[in-house]
Chain A
Amino acid sequence: MRVRMLDLAHARSGDKGDTANVGVIALRPEWYELLVQRLTVDVVSKHFAGIIAGPVVRFELPNLGALNFLLHGALDGGGTQSLKTDAQGKVFSTAMLRLVLEVPDADAVRLGLPQV
């Protein structure tokens, strides 16, 4: 079953130099494990392929039901050097939520996931 991240999580993003961080927070506590399993570095790297120049790093915050992603090389140099409209990575958050996850039907039903 295909499930939109927009229906599973909320998010906020910011910058550190040329790196954008995206914190992804499960809308329900029971969906956090699904994000841990499905929203992998590999999936996120493919999603942002061609948009960021560097690697993706992921950290887990089970206490907040959140994952923190660092997207390196995301901001055309960042800060004042960047020519981008989103030089500070403020809306990488919703770009992340465009992601659509493939979830086994049984899991989707068990977790009550809203499907596309």
Chain B
Amino acid sequence: MTARPVVRVASGQGFWGDWLEAPRRQVEGGPVDYLMLDYLAEVTMSILQKQKERDPAMGYARDFVGAIESVLDSIVERGVRVVANAGGVNPTACADAILALANARGVRGRLRLGVVTGDDLLPHLDALLAGGHSLANMDTGAPLADVRDRVLSANAYIGSTPIVEALGREADIVITGRSTDTALTMAPLRHEFGWSASDWDRLAAGIVAGHIIECGAQCSGGNCLIDWQNVPDLANVGYPIVEGHADGSFEIVKHPGTGGWITVPSVKEQLVYEMGDPHAYITPDVIADFTTIRLEQTGDDRVRVFGVRGRPPTDSLKVSIAYRAGFKAVGTLVYAWPDAIAKAQLADRVLRERLDNLGLRFETILTEFLGVSATHGPLAGDGRDAPEVQLRVGVRSEDRRMVERFTREIAPLVLNGPPSVTGFAGGRPKVEEIVAYWPALIDKRVVKTSVEILS
């Protein structure tokens, strides 16, 4: 394909809501060939589906338009290509927004957009179910028919192949829907080095590269536990860049002069993040074996990754389905010393008795005492001398009215419950509809992706 000995893929967003500064800093801070932007988490698709229901021109990560706006001149000038799963449930509308932006900025004739579609299974859901695809919940085994009437979105996780095709057709910006996070990084490497679809070790290496940088700065000093007090200049944290080689080995680096750090331990922390069985990191392209990964510090803020082994993937794709699953609300109050925890505990008992007397029934009531036991439970001790404790009570129910009524029971406690109470400035708790996640598998052969090039 190309004679480029090193291909640089820079991570510019680790999730929808990540640092708006990062894409521009990645493109302008030094040499990069690709800018990789990951926007989608398990529940993001359902949020986007709701937006699309309200407005058919929505349903994609709007942040992406701002990100492209911030780098448009630079990527055109420097020839940096962009790969992003910002398309959500409406990649075509996302592409239209980018074209409109390019038009307004007078660079339209100089940009080719690749749009990957076919991951959206919602239009085919009933036909699939009728055809014997149960789309059973991977965790519980329940058939999708149980919640079919409440399904909001259904998207297959698709791999690198359509992105590689789009790059091969000279797209400057590739927009996908529910691509796997890791494919966004692997695809440019596969494209540049011409790795075949059965080059398991190299594909697996690309997946590992993707896993390391898909959460942005989380491998370069962000959320880094080891020696966290000494992570330099987090205010200017450098996002990670993969320097890939044709043999599948790569180095994780960041631009000079940026903060954070890239060390063997910081990369290890990211490698174990959201890990399942390390022997079988399953993707649509390849199964990567994380127990084969070798790491070596080869310079300041430079970690070499090599030795990665892979094997053929399964015949299935994972499907991310979102469905309506009732309502929830969370109320909080703060109790102060002395005996903060005892007061908060009494308030919880009083509240529960009142909910009970009102005849309210919930699927779950969960009480936490922030400052004492909310995150580590009884492991954290009794919190007897805590200067303050936040009482946090959450409820969940299929019946919205039950949850509404609960939200009216928090404020009264300020005047008719235990003393030394404050922290109610936020007002009454809000009722939220729960959009739950339903993971399933589907036969790969029924998912047809396609690539469209717009210019």
Contact = CB atoms under 8 A, between A and B. Distances in A.
Contacts of B223: 12
Interface residues of A, number: 42
A16 B196 CA distance: 31
A23 B273 contact: yes
Given A64-B295, A81-B436, A16 B379 contact: no
A79 interface: yes
A85 B375 contact: yes
B268 A64 contact: yes
B276 A70 contact: yes
A50 interface: yes
Nearest to A67: B272
A43 interface: no
B124 interface: no
Contacts of A45: none
A25 interface: yes
Chain B interface helix/strand/loop/mixed: mixed
A12 B435 contact: no
A109 interface: no
Interface in A3-39: 10-18, 21, 23-25, 27
B225 A83 contact: no
A21 to B, nearest CB: 5
Interface in A70-112: 70, 76-81, 83-86, 91, 93-95, 98
Interface of A: 10-18, 21, 23-25, 27, 47, 50-51, 59-66, 68, 70, 76-81, 83-86, 91, 93-95, 98
B366 A83 contact: yes
Contacts of A61: 272, 278, 290-291
Contacts, number: 125
Interface string B349-371: 00000000000000010101010
Contact of B272 (A16, A66, A84): A66
Given A10-B226, A16-B274, A17-B139, A63 B292 contact: yes
B278 A91 contact: no
B275 A93 contact: no
Contacts of A59: 275, 277-279
Contacts of B437: 17, 78-80
Given A12-B225, A76-B366, A98 B379 contact: yes
A60 to B, nearest CB: 8
21 contacts: A10-B265, A12-B223, A12-B269, A14-B274, A14-B275, A15-B274, A21-B275, A23-B269, A25-B265, A25-B268, A59-B279, A64-B268, A64-B271, A80-B434, A80-B436, A85-B368, A86-B375, A93-B225, A95-B375, A95-B376, A95-B377
Interface of B: 42-43, 139, 223, 225-226, 265, 268-279, 290-295, 307, 325, 328, 330, 364, 366, 368, 370, 374-380, 392, 394-396, 434-437, 439
By Cβ-Cβ distance, the 6 closest A-B pairs, closest first, are: A23-B272, A83-B394, A14-B274, A83-B366, A10-B226, A12-B269
Given A47-B379, A79-B42, A64 B272 contact: yes
Given A81-B328, A85-B370, 20 more contacts: A10-B265, A12-B223, A12-B225, A13-B273, A17-B139, A17-B437, A23-B275, A25-B272, A50-B378, A51-B378, A62-B291, A63-B292, A63-B294, A68-B275, A80-B437, A83-B395, A84-B374, A95-B375, A95-B379, A98-B379
Contacts of B265: 10, 25
Contact of B269 (A10, A15, A18, A76): A10
B245 to A, nearest CB: 20
